[in-house]
Amino acid sequence: METILSVNHLNVTYVNKSRRVMAVRDVSLSINKGDSLGIVGESGSGKSTLAMALLRLHPKGTEITGEAMFEGKNLLTISEKEMNELRWVKLAVVFQKAMNALSPVHRIRQQIEDIYRVHYPKASSAEIRERAMELLKLVNLPPRVYNLYPHEMSGGMLQRVAIAISLLHHPQLLIFDEATTALDVVTQGQILREIVEMEKTLSTTRIMITHDMSVVATTCNKVAVMYAGELMEYGMVTDVLTHPHHPYTQGLQRSFPSLKGDNRKLESIPGFLPDLSKPCQGCVFAPRCPHATERCFSQKPPMFKTGESGGAACWLCEGEENGK
């Protein structure tokens, strides 16, 4: 399959006057055209930082190294002009809490027109309205929304508007950054179903950033598990979520309730995230891992192959890769 995005040894470091925080460390992954990749992990694991690095939306002073190849271009090193030509046209993002992304004093119509004309300044209002009507229908919103103010709509409607705006220019890669987290369960379910149906119509490739394992299980075909800025495990959703190899992935599963099968007690992962301003010699998860050995604290594990298309950064998988 055609690879649409290839990330190699990506590092993101936030720098202030007193310290350097290594928020993303040596992450490598690839996404094929038509994939839906879910990036999961607890708060502070580097999920959103990774996405913002791909879009070059970090604050000034942030250090980003590595490679993120998209259409033959490294998103991390191309000029700001080139990035502006790609961003929102071929690469788009839907942020959490869309109500904060929309102007409260302008109608949706005016906001969509202004956004559309950033890349197509000569577009007519009729042309923009026609495109907007297509997208509002796609996200299950009535035409009247086009002339409403944000305060006249619910949170779910605003989130749908944000999704419609992100699709204005037919992006090839769409990133959802906790886009449904602030919504109630019923509305979240409706929007997630609409996203899946929408992808069938538009052939869009998606990255879904979330801490909710059920979102990944129901809407993605691939998953990447992150912890403390590092990639712990990746692979097909059907493989990783049914037979997780990394202890961290196993811990996430035990902390999430299942609606099927036997009832079981939920278990939290003991301990806390490490201080990301300090270098880690061994496995970053070792202090919280129930299977950790001396080797885990002194040597960082590579990404061992698990199955046909997956991988896990854990010494427990060394024997599996070698067929033992």
Burial class for 233, CB neighbours closer than 10 Å (0-12, 13-18, 19+): buried
User: Residue 275: how many CA atoms within 13 Å on its side-chain side?
Assistant: 5
At 291 the pLDDT is: 93
User: Can you give the three-state secondary structure of 57-112, one letter per residue?
Assistant: CCCCCCEEEEEEEECCEECCCCCHHHHHHHECCCEEEECCCHHHCCCCCCCHHHHH
| Cα–Cα distance, 26 to 174 (Å, whole number) | 23
Query: What is the percent of the chain where pLDDT is above 90?
Result: 60
Q: What local confidence, expressed as pLDDT, does residue 228 receive?
A: 96
| H or E element that contains 299 | none
Least confident of 34-48, 151-165, 190-204: 190-204
Q: Per-residue pLDDT tens for 193-239?
A: 888 887 777 778 999 998 888 889 888 999 999 999 999 999 999 99
- What predicted TM-score, i.e. pTM, was given to this entire model? 0.90
Which residues contact residue 44 at a Cβ distance below 8 angstroms, ignoring those fewer than 6 apart? 228, 273, 276
Q: Per-residue pLDDT tens for 3-12?
A: 999 999 999 9
Average pLDDT across the chain, whole number: 89
Q: Which long-range contacts (CB under 8 A, 24 or more apart) does 118-124 make?
A: 118/88, 119/85, 119/88, 119/89, 119/169
* C-beta of residue 47 within 8 angstroms of C-beta of residue 40: yes
Q: Tell me the C-alpha distance between 124 and 190, whole Å.
A: 33
For residue range 272-322, list pLDDT tens digits in order.
Answer: 899 999 989 999 999 999 999 999 999 999 999 998 889 999 999 987 655
Using DSSP, state whether 12 is helix, strand or coil: strand
Residue with tokens 């609409």: 194
Q: pLDDT tier at 324 (50, 70, 90 boundaries)?
A: very low
pLDDT in tens, 28-37: 999 999 899 9
CATH topology for the 3-90+169-321 domain: Rossmann fold (3.40.50)
Domain range summary for the chain, segments of one domain joined by +: 3-90+169-321
Q: How far apart are CA 168 and CA 128, in angstroms?
A: 9
- 254-282 pLDDT per residue, tens: 877 665 656 667 678 888 899 999 989 99
